[in-house]
Amino acid sequence: MKILQVDFPSPGPFGAEMTEMMQGLAESIAKEPGLIWKLWTENAETGEAGGIYCFENLETLNAYKEIHAARLEKMGVRNLRFKIFDANVALSKIDRFPGL
């Protein structure tokens, strides 16, 4: 498993308005090859949004990263930050991460 953390400055919307506005995007992301899950993140106080993604492998993560960066930039999102991590499944199971 490979983890992708994405965040960027965002003026909103947040909460229910974001849910309504981004539902189609969420449905599209759910169909991405290699995606196991995504956790959407938002912080209205600091004006940030993004997500934590889990992919089957580095190849599918990198393919998605390129697509997503282009899509967000086309939407006017700037200053994207990407970080890639390995998942420590054994420790995550101890701490009750869902699905492990």
Residuewise pLDDT in 10s, the chain (100 residues): 999 999 999 999 999 999 999 999 999 999 999 999 999 999 999 999 999 999 999 999 999 999 999 999 998 999 999 999 999 999 999 998 887 6
The pLDDT of residue 98: 82
The model carries a pTM of 0.90
First to last CA, the chain: 11
Query: Under 8 Å CB-to-CB from 69, ≥6 apart: which residues?
Result: 80, 82
Round to whole Å and give the CA distance between 46 and 20. 21
The SS3 call for residue 77 is coil
The pLDDT of residue 69: 94
Q: Please state, in angstroms and as integers, the Cα–Cα distance from residue 92 to each residue in 43, 95, 96, following that order.
A: 24, 5, 6
The pLDDT of residue 97: 87
The pLDDT of residue 4: 98
